């Protein structure tokens, strides 16, 4: 079945550092891919999405490119801020169900 | 801009008690979902409703029942709560069609003693 594997955390960075969170997936067809972000005590918010190969999703300085050849959707941000501290989830869907990775906790220190 | 609203936000139950978690969305979405979130396990799908009048089991349905009351509302019931059901429960919704992003509520934190 479909599955998502993402980089284990926690990840601790200094402000203005470069962030990469690796995500790879297994799917039988042509899924859509997502990154969600969860701030403490809140629900998940859609951060960005990509619906087909070579699509680049972007939002709030974050980017991820749908790479079918490597079955990857790595999340990147060039200069993180303290406010980016959160848990990040990679997810895919083929149809109605979302399959999530385990989540990566990111802490950014001033 | 309510989006997806879940009630209650927190609840403590004793083993064997029953409880219904409520979820309502105001985005005119067709599909609705219930997940549980446990440490280190991401989110796991309990039940979903692709459209009004239909419900289907997800990855971890045992011990739960659902009701799609109308297009807006999708409730999750624990008939006889067990400590293993201590978790954070999230409701989500999505618009019609395949491969749509889901929009989440803020969660219900449920503890079962």
A16 min Cα distance to partner chain B (Å): 27
**DSSP of B17-41, one letter per residue?**
--EEEEEEE-S--SEEEEEEE-TTS
Mean pLDDT (whole number) for B1-18: 93
Least confident of A69-78, A95-104, B73-82: A95-104
Q: CB under 8 Å to B40, separation ≥6 — which residues?
A: A102, A103
pLDDT in tens, A43-53: 899 999 999 99
pLDDT at B16: 96
* Strand stretches in chain A, DSSP E: 3-6, 11-14, 19-21, 23-26, 32-38, 44-50, 56-59, 62-65, 75-77, 86-93, 98-100, 104-109
Q: Which residues of B18-48 are buried (b: 16+ CB within 10 A; e: fewer)?
A: ebebbbbbeeebbbbbbbbbeeeebbbbbbb
Q: CB under 8 Å to B97, separation ≥6 — which residues?
A: none
C-beta of residue A11 within 8 angstroms of C-beta of residue A20: no
pLDDT in tens, A73-91: 999 999 999 999 999 999 9
Among A73, A98, A100, which would you mutate to test the B interface (most chain B Cβ atoms within 10 Å of its Cβ)? A98
**Which residues are paired to B36 by β-bridges?**
B44, B89
Among A43, A86, A102, which would you mutate to test the B interface (most chain B Cβ atoms within 10 Å of its Cβ)? A43
Mean pLDDT (whole number) for B61-66: 96
A58 min Cα distance to partner chain B (Å): 15
C-beta of residue A106 within 8 angstroms of C-beta of residue A88: yes
pLDDT in tens, A15-74: 999 999 999 999 988 899 999 999 988 889 999 999 999 999 999 999 999 999 999 999
Which residues of chain A are at the B interface, by a Cβ-Cβ cutoff of 8 Å?
A: 31-32, 34, 36, 41-46, 49, 51, 89, 93-98, 100-103
pLDDT at A108: 97
């Amino acid at each position: 079945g479909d599955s998502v594997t993402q980089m284990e955390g926690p990840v601790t960075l200094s402000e203005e550092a470069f962030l990469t969170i690796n995500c790879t997936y297994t799917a039988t067809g042509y899924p859509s891919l997502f990154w969600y972000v969860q701030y403490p005590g809140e629900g998940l918010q859609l951060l960005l999405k990509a619906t087909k190969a070579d699509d680049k999703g972007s939002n709030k300085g974050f980017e991820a490119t749908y790479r079918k050849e490597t079955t990857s959707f790595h999340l990147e941000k060039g200069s993180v801020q303290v406010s980016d501290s959160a848990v990040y989830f990679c997810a895919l869907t083929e149809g109605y169900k979302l399959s999530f990775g385990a989540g990566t906790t990111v802490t950014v220190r001033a | 801009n309510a989006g997806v609203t879940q009630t209650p936000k927190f609840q403590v139950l004793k083993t064997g008690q029953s409880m219904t978690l409520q979820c309502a969305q105001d985005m005119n979405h067709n599909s609705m979902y219930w997940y549980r979130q446990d440490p280190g396990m991401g989110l796991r799908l309990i039940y979903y409703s692709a459209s009004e009048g239909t419900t289907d089991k997800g990855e971890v349905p045992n011990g739960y029942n659902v009701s799609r009351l109308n297009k807006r509302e999708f409730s999750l019931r624990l008939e006889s709560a067990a400590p293993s059901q201590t978790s954070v429960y999230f409701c989500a919704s999505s618009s019609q069609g395949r491969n749509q992003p889901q929009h989440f509520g803020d969660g219900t934190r449920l503890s079962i003693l």
